[in-house]
Amino acid sequence: MMSDLGFTFRRAKNGDVIVEHRAKTASTLRGDKARWFLQDMDGMDFESQQQEMARITGNYKRGNERQARNHPRNR
């Protein structure tokens, strides 16, 4: 099953890469970072691309969600 996290990316005319999450701009990569990103995307499958875009934008799970839910501050 494919894991679609809702990320897409597009290359602007000026060479920037715009990463979008559910049709809203999440991050803009410029210069060397944009070139590096495009090179990486060429060699990845769809799920890996989604994970990489989540990592770049900081929108990914950290593994402690279950613990945080039970914390007294969150009750």
Q: Is residue 14 part of a domain?
A: yes
Q: Could you give the CA distance from residue 45 to residue 71 in angstroms, rounded to a whole number?
A: 37
The whole-model pTM stands at 0.73
Cβ-based burial of 7 (10 A; exposed 0-12, middle 13-18, buried ≥19): buried
Q: Is residue 75 part of a domain?
A: no
Q: Is residue 69 part of a domain?
A: no
Q: Could you give the CA distance from residue 53 to residue 56 in angstroms, rounded to a whole number?
A: 5
* pLDDT in the model for residue 18: 97
Q: Is residue 24 part of a domain?
A: yes
Model confidence over 24-60: pLDDT tens digits? 999 999 999 999 999 999 989 999 999 899 888 886 6
Model confidence over 1-13: pLDDT tens digits? 467 888 999 999 9
Q: Is residue 66 part of a domain?
A: no
The structural domain count of the chain equals: 1
Instruction: Inform me whether the pLDDT recorded for 68 exceeds 80.
Output: no
Q: Is residue 74 part of a domain?
A: no
Using an 8 Å Cβ cutoff, are 41 and 9 in contact?
A: yes
Range of the domain at 42: 7-60
Q: What's the mean pLDDT in 54-75?
A: 69
Q: Is residue 65 part of a domain?
A: no
Which amino acid appears at position 63 of this protein? G
